[in-house]
Amino acid sequence: MEVVQVKPEEKKEKPSILKNVEKGKVIRFANVSFEEALKEDLFYFVLSSKDKRVKLVNLSNAEQIERDDVWEVYVHASKMSIIK
């Protein structure tokens, strides 16, 4: 994943509701700062959504979790490369 840091005054983002995020996007929860998410490996890939629950996978350890679809999250640009 390509990580790009942006100064807060350059780009003001508002959080999205998890149920509105498309599968395949990379997110972090709004209650976690960007710096903390980098330090603690708290970025997630959205796998699927069903019955007001969203299935996520942690990008660093591949642990799968499920969360209610009402959480506020930030969507991050990501780049994925598959190595053959």
Q: What would the DSSP string read from start to end of 13-54?
A: ---EEGGGSPTT-EEEETTS-HHHHHHHT--EEEEEEETTEE
- Cβ–Cβ under 8 Å, residues 55 and 64: yes
User: Above 60 in pLDDT, residue 10?
Assistant: no
Question: Closest Cα partner for 37 from 66, 60, 16, 64?
Answer: 60
User: Above 80 in pLDDT, residue 32?
Assistant: yes
Average pLDDT, integer, range 64-79: 94
What is the residue extent of each domain of the chain? 16-76
User: Above 70 in pLDDT, residue 8?
Assistant: no
CATH 2.120.10 for domain 16-76: no
pTM above 0.85, yes or no: no
Band (pLDDT 50/70/90 cuts) for residue 56 is very high
